[in-house]
Amino acid sequence: MYVAVKGGEQAIANAHKLLSEKRRGDQAVPELEISQIKEQLGLSVDRVMTEGSLYDRGLAAIAIKQAQGDLVEAIFLLRAYRTTLPRFGFSEPIETSRMEIQRRISSSFKDIPGGQVLGPTYDYTHRLIDFGLETPENGNPEICRAEVAAEAIQNAMPRVADLLLAEGLIEDEAVEGERRPVADLTRDPLELPAERDVRLQNLARGDEGFILSLAYSLLRGFGASGHPFLGEIRFGEVTVELVPEELGFPIEVGEISVTECIMFNRFIGSATTSPKFVRGYGLAYGHCERKAMAMAIIDYALRSRELGEKSEYPAQDEEFVLFHSDNVQASGFVEHLKLPHYVDFQADLVLMRNQQAEFNNGNKGDREIENEEAI
């Protein structure tokens, strides 16, 4: 005899207990410390902070630990915490030309003022598993210490785009006199058509995999933009300034590390504007080059409307891109299929049985109609 299933609450509690046990893993292995994640899984932390829209290395590291390294889950945890935080002000725009550079390259010029600074990068590494990492190197700190250059990297490096701007070869993005508040997707719903600030915010929060693949589709020809050039990518620390109402002048409130990418795209011009290069822009917290580059490529593709270009492919379609980029939304909705749906399925079952019964009764009239349609 069937008895209505009860005890969901107990089952959930038990499932969560089991989860904690799984998260901890073998008790004989020392537990991960937050500082270890912060220090040794830094790129995971950076991604979680970027897509979680919250710059807090410690919290991101806890989220990664709590999510057993599932970064989308960690992003979700960080986002859910972020909503509860009060908002006490807005910072001044960060000035990336005054960045304390760790890495900065341009592939559009052989050399640039300030020089090409490779910094910490996986580029040019041979992707061979380093079996030496299997055993901790704690006994020999010399192995993982880089040499320090005799000369310090010059700060206040001009952005490559600014050099072209002087020649008038690139569009001037400076907004004169206008200082409207920047849109905030975390407070207001996404409305279309979206302005560039909204699109950039959406892309910055967007899933790295989704953004990356869309950018890839553009490069492969699913988008008319052609081949963009990496004007510059830079990574380093910038100061964040805030103007407290009671002071009226900016004060430094902290330092964050960001990756900034500017892509150059050839714009053939229109009846009213001369041909020139147009920028695609990407910005991410921490060191997220793949994300920042992909973002910059899509930023340009989504400008097709304002630039009067045709938009015929998915990555140029702002509605398609902006509504599907968020992995917290996407994973939630895809995984909601795990929730019980038996009431709706029952309704479909009833419908399906009726339809099958009619089909099996050999509804001759219907078939004649189908034949007519075939002709």
Partner 1 sequence: MKKQFKEQSETGSDRSCVMEGYNFAYLDEQTKRMIRRTILKAVAIPGYQVPFGSREMPLPYGWGTGGIQVTASLIGPEDTLKVIDQGADDTTNAVSIRRFFSRTAGVHTTTRTREATIIQTRHRIPETHLRNGQIIVYQVPIPEPLRFIEPRAKEVRRMHALKEYGIMFVKLYEDISRHGRIAKAFDYPVLVNGRYVMSPSPIPKFDNPKMDCMPALQIFGAGREKRIYAVPPYTRVKSLDFEDYPFEVERWSKSCALCGSEHSYLDEIITDDQGSRMYVCSDTDYCSLRLAERDRDFQPGFKDEIRASGAIGERKCT
Nearest approach, Cβ of 104 to partner 1 (angstroms)?
34
According to the binding rule CB under 8 A, does residue 12 interact with partner 1? yes
Q: How far apart, in Å, are the Cα atoms of 149 and each of 64, 97, 117, 146, 152?
A: 34, 22, 12, 9, 7
x-marked contacts with partner 1 along 163-202 as a string, rule CB under 8 A? -----------------------xxxxxxxx---------
Among 342, 357, 371, 372, binds partner 1 (CB under 8 A): 342
Quote the DSSP letter at residue 233: E
According to the binding rule CB under 8 A, does residue 273 interact with partner 1? no
Q: How far apart, in Å, are the Cα atoms of 27 and each of 20, 24, 68?
A: 12, 7, 15
Quote the DSSP letter at residue 247: T
Question: Burial code of 319-353, b = ≥16 C-beta within 10 A, e = fewer?
Answer: eebbeebbbbebbeeeeeeeeeeeeeeeeeeeeee
- Output the CA torsion sign for 115, 116, 119, 125: negative
In one-letter notation, the amino acid at residue 364 is K
According to the binding rule CB under 8 A, does residue 343 interact with partner 1? yes
Q: Which stretch binds partner 1 (CB under 8 A): 57-65, 77-85, 241-249, 275-283?
A: 77-85
Among 2, 88, 124, 249, binds partner 1 (CB under 8 A): 2
Q: What residues contact residue 224 under an 8 Å CB cut-off, 6+ apart?
A: 304, 309, 310, 312, 313, 316
Q: Which stretch binds partner 1 (CB under 8 A): 42-50, 82-90, 148-156, 281-289?
A: 82-90
According to the binding rule CB under 8 A, does residue 58 interact with partner 1? no
x-marked contacts with partner 1 along 200-239 as a string, rule CB under 8 A? ----------------------------------------
Q: CA–CA separation, 209 vs 303, rounded Å?
A: 21
Nearest approach, Cβ of 168 to partner 1 (angstroms)?
36
According to the binding rule CB under 8 A, does residue 17 interact with partner 1? no
Asked whether the beta carbons of 255 and 274 are under 8 A apart, the reply is no
| Binding stretches for partner 1 (CB under 8 A) | 2, 4-9, 11-12, 76, 79-80, 82-84, 86, 186-193, 319, 323, 328-329, 331-336, 339-344, 346-351, 354-355, 358, 363, 366, 369
